[in-house]
Every structure is written in C-alpha cells, then in structure tokens.
Homo-oligomer: A and B are copies of this chain.
Amino acid sequence: MTSWHMARRAERLNPSTIREILKITERPGIISLAGGLPATESFPVAALQEATARVLRETPREALQYAASEGFAPLRAWVADELSAQGLSASADRVLITTGSQQGLDLVAKVLVDPASRVAVEAPTYLGALQAFAPYEPEFTEIEGDAEGPTPAALDAARGARFLYLLPNFQNPSGRCLGAARRDALAERALEIGLPVVEDNPYGELWYDAPPPPPIAARLGDGAVYLGSFSKVLVPGLRLGYVLAPAVLYPKLLQAKQAADLHTPGFNQRVVYEVIKDGFLARHVPTIRARYKSHRDAMRVALEQHMPAGCRWNVPAGGMFFWVELPPQLDATALLPRAVAAGMAYVPGAPFFAGGGHANTLRLSFVTVAPALIEAGIAALAQVLKETLAS
C-alpha cells in the first residue's frame, strides 16, 4: 500500500470558490453576473488570425522552439516602453514575461514568502492573489481603509511584512480606484517604514470616465514590483502577463520562472507582439471601454431602479465590477442558491477578505452579459432580496 504524504502547505490549497460557483452557474438560462470573464465580443479575432498566420509563415521555427525564460525580447522591450510612458522606471532587462499575471503572483510569493512571514493586503482584495500566496503559508495582515482606499496610517500595521499587495486601479472585487493624493501618501509612508509594495494592474486601461493616476510603483523606485496583463485589453486565453522587478529581485524571479514552466509559450508571445507592435491597442482598447461603459451604466440604472432600501453600492469608474453591501442581517453566501433558483448568479464577497467576515457583501460583474440581461439579472436579485427582507 503506497503512502502519499502531502506537504503541509497543501492544507492551504483549497478549491477556488469562484470557479466552483462558475461551474454551478454555467447552466443555460442562468444570467451570470458572477464571472470576471471579458466579453468575447471584444476579442480582436481578425487581428489574431492575421498575426498567427504571419508568425507561422515568417518565423515558425523560432516561435515553436524552446525559448528564453525571460520572454521574447521585442515584447519585453514593448512592455518596458509602455510602463515608462506610465511613469515607471522600466527597462526591458527587468521585465519578465509570465504565463498570465497569476503566475507573477505565484513567483513573487515563491521568492518572498516564508511560512509565518507576513503579507499585507487590502480588505477586500483579489481572491486569486490570496490563493497564489496562501500555499507559501504567510500570515495575512488586512490594511484598514476608508472610502478612498487603504489609509497611510494603517500601513503601520504592515511594518515588517514581506510586502504590501495593492491593486489601485478599479480593484477586483471592490471597483475602487485610488486617487492621486492617496497614492502619494501611501507611497510616502511605504518608503518611510521600508515596506515593499507589489502593485497589480490588470484593469488600469479599462477606465470609463478618466484615466487613473500614475502607478504607486512609479514613486517607489526599487521598492516595488509591478504586475501587468494582456488578459483584459486583448484576450485572456493566451495567458500573457508580465512582472517589472527591481534588480535585486529579478534574478530570483527568473530562476523561479525557469523552475516553474521553463518559459511562457513563445508562440503566444510572438503573436501578441505582432498584434500590438504598431499601436493596435490605442485603437482597440477604446472600443472595449465604450462597450464596458455602456454595460456599467446599464447596471447602475438597474441597481437604482430595482434594489431594495438598505443596499449600498459603488459606481466603479473602470474595471469590471460593482461591489454591493446588503443590509447586515443578510448573508450573500446563504442567499446564492435562491438567486440561482431565480435565474441569476453573483459571487459572495466574503472570500475576498483574508480575515473573513463581511457576509453581507457581493460582487457583480457587468462585462460578460448584455445590458438587457444585466437588467433582468439585477431585477431577479432584487426580488430575492426583497422577499428575504420581508420574511
């Protein structure tokens, strides 16, 4: 009888709540406001057809062979230029191409997190980051905040943490975008107390009213790691992200990358580079913004029209999510089966808090479903809430 003995860290691996919910809600007929899936209508299929054909015609051997762990050099240079334009101090030799930015989160934790070391996170924070960090067995410290985001004074609770994980632009799940003054104040305080920052920016290009302020990492020099992704501005299924890391960390992140999957598919990197190299995103991303803005507005109107008194929500200036607080006596996890029975689905908010609690919160995605269905979905949710509150 063979005895498998699992590592202690395996206890910290758990089924993804969201992915489990998505399985339930993928039934036909359910209006799912649960997933964070980009609208497939936004995928630039023609450009990708052209680029894949060109890569396979012009450089098939190079694109299909093993490749450098750092990533495809022209793509790294493109990323460095792009990040420099956002105010970051970026050079191609500090850009690491990753298999989605999820892999960037895994590598950062692999290199920086010891068991029982501390990682500071927002409350709420991105669930996928908690899942990437957890197997390295950190203690999470939640940073308190106000309506404008984490407060500079609250950073003191993170003193001695391996890093503070921040998602300043249209955060998943809260939709919150930090203002310029708050960014300045957070950066200043982080520098004062020597707190390293890992800044994650999957949604920054998805702004609907005005572009977000420059990255916090732009004020931190070698005190920050910055993560980005092509999933939300192009397509997620090619799994392309990147990490900009200070010189002191880059070699270890690179070695962790080699150990993890040798390199991100070179074919995918070359195809994306072919698509974007001549300014395609400057033409394409505005079409995504226009689409998602109309979706956001539809959800805002539907929420205002249907939701019962006592519910509160933000109006996100970008990204993909509304964040809803229900009256305190309601439990979004307990209510989900009733919402699904009523024909819609959302994601309960509790799993986004490292410290638990907040059972009365939920996340609604407005990008995947057409505006007419958004309204029907919100109406169904509101009806469930009203019935529950009345009983």
Contacts and interface: CB of A to CB of B under 8 A. Distances in A.
B237 A261 contact: no
Nearest to A190: B2
State the oligomeric state as a number of copies.
2
A99 to B, nearest CB: 4
Contact of A128 (B8, B110, B262): B262
Interface in A194-249: 194-196, 220-224, 231, 235-239, 246, 248-249
Contacts of A262: 100, 102, 128, 239
Contacts of A89: none
B37 A66 contact: yes
Given A7-B110, A37-B66, A56-B52, A131 B235 contact: no
A191 B99 CA distance: 37
Given A15-B255, A49-B53, A1 B238 contact: no
Interface in A111-136: 111-114, 117, 128, 131-132, 134-136
A116 to B, nearest CB: 11
A222 B2 contact: yes
Interface string A1-43: 1111111111001111001000000000000000101101001
B6 A195 contact: no
A297 B135 CA distance: 48
A267 interface: yes
B65 A13 contact: no
A265 interface: yes
A119 to B, nearest CB: 11
12 contacts: A1-B191, A2-B190, A4-B248, A7-B117, A16-B255, A52-B52, A64-B236, A64-B237, A65-B235, A102-B262, A238-B267, A260-B260
